[in-house]
């Protein structure tokens, strides 16, 4: 992986070395990073995330409408959260989250859970190269898991 540090000049200028990373300056790492950036730009993966993510969010919102344990579907691009609560309340429902995660896994979809131990927000963060067909398939698996849980 590649990281960067940005700080005010008076902070950065106080460092006595050329690098603040144990892996800094590797030409192979820089070539790999450049290749990844070129691929991202050449294939408009940011635009794809915007388009496919918008489709996925709308599909999940419409599919979750009326499900008593779903408080909100939110996100931007392909970073999406589905907040689960105890029906009729605003209290998080971690047990429901665990059941949905397991049902989704059994259906072939791996997603995560965000927040602390007492929260139940399903975290959906697929690769930027996700296709519309893959998004539709994933949405259907997740909606089945939400309905069954």
User: 85: helix, coil or strand?
Assistant: strand
- Mean pLDDT (whole number) for 122-134: 97
13-19: average pLDDT: 71
Give the C-alpha separation, 20 to 106, whole Å.
44
Look at residue 30 in the predicted model and tell me its pLDDT: 84
| Contacts for 49 with CB less than 8 Å, ≥ 6 apart | 77, 78, 128, 130
Write the pLDDT tens digit of every residue in 64-118.
999 999 999 999 999 999 999 999 998 999 999 999 999 999 999 999 998 766 6
86-101-121 Cα angle (round to 5): 50
**Does the predicted TM-score (pTM) go above 0.75?**
yes
Residue 143 CB partners (closer than 8 Å, separation 6+): 60, 63, 64
Asked if pLDDT for residue 5 goes beyond 80, the answer is: no
Assess contact for 84 and 62: CB atoms under 8 A.
Answer: no
CA neighbor of 107 nearest in space, from 142, 59, 132: 142
Q: Which two tokens stand for residue 125?
A: 């963060």
């Amino acid at each position: 992986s590649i990281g960067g540090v940005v700080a005010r000049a008076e902070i950065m200028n106080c460092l006595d070395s050329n690098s603040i990373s144990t892996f800094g300056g590797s030409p192979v790492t820089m070539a790999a990073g450049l290749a990844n950036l070129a691929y991202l730009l050449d294939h408009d993966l940011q635009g794809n995330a915007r388009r496919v993510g918008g489709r996925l969010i709308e599909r999940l919102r419409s599919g979750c409408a009326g499900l008593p344990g779903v408080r909100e579907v939110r996100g931007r691009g392909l970073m999406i959260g589905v907040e689960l609560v105890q029906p009729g309340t605003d209290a998080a429902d971690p047990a429901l989250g665990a059941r949905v995660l397991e049902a989704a896994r059994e259906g072939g979809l791996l997603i995560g859970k965000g927040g602390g131990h007492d929260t139940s927000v399903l975290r959906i963060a697929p690769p930027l190269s996700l296709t519309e067909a893959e998004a539709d398939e994933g949405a259907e698996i997740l909606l089945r898991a939400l309905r069954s849980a």
